[in-house]
Structure 1
Amino acid sequence: MFSVFETFQETMEKKQVIIDTDCGIDDAQAIMMALAAPNIQIVGITCVFGNAVVENVCQNVLRVLSVCEHEGIPVFRGSGGPLVGAGSSPTDHFGTDGFGDVIKDKDTQWEEKIQGEHAVSAMIRLVTENQKQVSLVALGPLTNLALAVRLDPSFPQKLKDLYIMGGNMEGKGNITLCAEFNFVMDPESAYIVLEEFLCTTYIASWEYACRNALTWEFFEEMINQDAPAAAFMKKITSKCWAYSKEAMMNKRDVYFGPAFVSYDAYAMSACIDGSLVTEKIECPVRVELQGSMCRGMMVLDRTNQLKKNHSVFVLAKCDVDKLSQLLRMSLRQPCKK
């Protein structure tokens, strides 16, 4: 039986990918998945605020690339706050630094290792130079993407496609009562992206991730593999309540039952292998910007009441066996010589 990776090697050209990230622990997992996938070429990683302040996000990305021995990938610093307003402070979901507050040996030279070009400018440039060839995977608040379309209105049509981890499809929220973290952190940007990005768009919502979850036993087996990436993941999850089975009992488990969920992996896995998605809903969507409880909530218009001429693909079901293969392989880096 061939692994999901082996099927790519002889039959598929490399897919060019830009990863836009607010690099917390699940972002790190998603980046590692892309690094491990032989059909993926990461042409750049753009950073945005979210799970941590953008300076910590940049450092987290650099550390992941170092652990996996892929330091040559360019990293760009982007937006440090939402499109409008003061914005909310990052949560402690993954600790104050996004990596569980367990890393003591901070890199004091990190600013010399990131590119001087702003993330939004780099995003526009890389896509313009490779029109209809680049897939954009957005794992954090969508501020950089909204700024890109404001600076270059033709930016979305130059993309091959867009994958978003964010939003919700059933009105269940993980930060507010009715909305998901990435969209709540910058609702205006989420609104702009889902209104003005007319390229093929796939959305891995919070509920999609939770309804296609894996077991805590799988998580333990995954992080205890004998490889540097696995050891790194074990370290940064060791004191993080978001990776505690007990802590989740009164949060996510109320809606979906006990399970391990690496949210950003669901958007990345769809980009790596489209066959992994077994069911999706094609319909228009809109982000709610008003209301004390519903601000940032994504609304699915399955009855065409909005009269929009653009639909997106909201992911519904996935092949969890293929997903688990991708996750396992992501932590077997770097490969032993």
Structure 2
Amino acid sequence: MAQKLLVIDTDCGIDDAQAIMLALAIPSVKVLGITCCFGNTDVDNVCQNVLRVLSVCERTEIPVFRGSAGALVGAGRQFRDHFGTDGLGDVFEDRDSTVWKTSVQSEHAVNALTRLVSENPGQVSLVALGPLTNLALALRLDPALPDKLKDLYIMGGNMEGKGNVTPCAEFNFVMDPESAYVVLEEYLCPTHIATWEFTCRNKLSWDFFDQLVNQETSASRFMKKITSKCWAFSREFGVNKRDVLFGPGYVPYDAFAVAACVDGSVVTEKVDCAVRVELHGELGRGMMAIDHTNTLRKNHRVCVFKEFDTCKFKELLMASLNQP
């Protein structure tokens, strides 16, 4: 069986780390490279986080590329500490080390993205787990890039007008609305989106999370460590936005997009529709609007996930941390 080729673009926080490990655990998947972008934390922390994940999984041969440090337009929003100030739960004492810089490729992430796709036309699945700045910039460097992609998987945006940063917008999109707009208007390849509300509606139990992180492997011990001091993984945190809207539970946000990419059968219900990212308004900026009535008259449709096979998803997650 031919290997499935992936490039992962990430703002590596705890959920990104889980998603990357899921991809690495699939024998039929080959990760060509990981491109880094600001988002959960600054881009230097993101690079360090990705390198830590690859080291734990003994996959340091995969190249890591430093990318966008800020939004396409304007100063952008401040980072938030949902996954700790460093994105991995603030549990590592060697964060100030500069040794990691020698392990990051000198090639910029945007150049690497266009090159890796061009070297494998029609074969690469691009998985975007953070703000879409690297993807928007890559398109400006190579307008033919979407035509060379096999497909694109995105974790981000929303489908019901519910937000987790503003009343109407999801984190990845609101961090760089212009880039999200560019990508969803101009990447005309097959595009699949795991929205924030979708991931929350398909949440997993905390009992399953305990099983997941208590496997006797280095990967599970790593995940247990990075979630140990993070308030987002505390059952006693109290009522937050997600709990109010969807009820409590464990939501491995980015892993949904990777799971769908490596095994499309986990998606049990979807809607194919035109979408557009709103760039204006105090409350609506960054919101992804779904055009159910074809008001926009757009030819390009994207696949927006609605339901997931949680049994298969749990199996993929368990396997992702069942690495020595």
TM-score, with structure 2 as normaliser: 0.98
Instruction: Return the alpha-carbon distance in structure 2 between the equivalents of residues 245 and 291 of structure 1.
Output: 35
The question of 1:98 aligning with 2:87 is answered yes
Shift in Å, 1:251: 2.4
Instruction: Return the alpha-carbon distance in structure 1 between the equivalents of residues 186 and 89 of structure 2.
Output: 35
Of 22, 25, 36, which aligns to 2:25?
36
8 Å Cα contact 1:177-1:293 kept in structure 2: yes
The question of 1:144 aligning with 2:134 is answered yes
Q: CA, structure 1 residues 62+112, in 2 after alignment: closer, same or farther (shift >3 Å)?
A: same
Instruction: Return the alpha-carbon distance in structure 2 between the equivalents of residues 160 and 114 of structure 1.
Output: 26
1:112-127 equivalences under 5 Å are 112-127=102-117
> Structure 1 vs Structure 2: percent identity of aligned residues?
67
The question of 1:249 aligning with 2:239 is answered yes
Q: Which runs of 5+ in 1 are unaligned?
A: 1-11
Shift in Å, 1:333: 1.3
Output the amino acid matched with 1:143.
T
Corresponding position of 1:207: 197
The secondary structure found in structure 2 opposite 1:18 is: strand
The secondary structure found in structure 1 opposite 2:23 is: helix
8 Å Cα contact 1:248-1:258 kept in structure 2: no
Corresponding position of 1:263: 253
Instruction: Return the alpha-carbon distance in structure 1 between the equivalents of residues 135 and 300 of structure 2.
Output: 18
Instruction: Return the alpha-carbon distance in structure 1 between the equivalents of residues 177 and 108 of structure 2.
Output: 22
Of 12, 25, 50, which aligns to 1:23?
12
The secondary structure found in structure 1 opposite 2:85 is: coil
The question of 1:89 aligning with 2:78 is answered yes
Q: Once the two structures are superposed, what CA deviation does each residue of 1:50-80 show, in whole Å capped at 9, x if it has no partner? A: 0010000000000000001000000000000
Shift in Å, 1:259: 1.1
Q: After TM superposition, which residue ranges in structure 1, 4 or more long, deviate above 6 angstroms?
A: none
The secondary structure found in structure 1 opposite 2:236 is: helix
Instruction: Return the alpha-carbon distance in structure 2 between the equivalents of residues 258 and 188 of structure 1.
Output: 32
The secondary structure found in structure 1 opposite 2:117 is: helix
Q: Once the two structures are superposed, what CA deviation does each residue of 1:259-279 show, in whole Å capped at 9, x if it has no partner? A: 110100000000010011011
Instruction: Return the alpha-carbon distance in structure 2 between the equivalents of residues 39 and 172 of structure 1.
Output: 36
Q: What is the Cα-based RMSD across aligned positions, in Å?
A: 0.8
The question of 1:230 aligning with 2:213 is answered no
Corresponding position of 1:52: 41
Q: How many residues align?
A: 323
Of 13, 19, 30, which aligns to 2:2?
13
Q: Once the two structures are superposed, what CA deviation does each residue of 1:222-278 show, in whole Å capped at 9, x if it has no partner? A: 001100010010000001011112226322110001111010000000001001101
Output the amino acid matched with 1:225.
Q
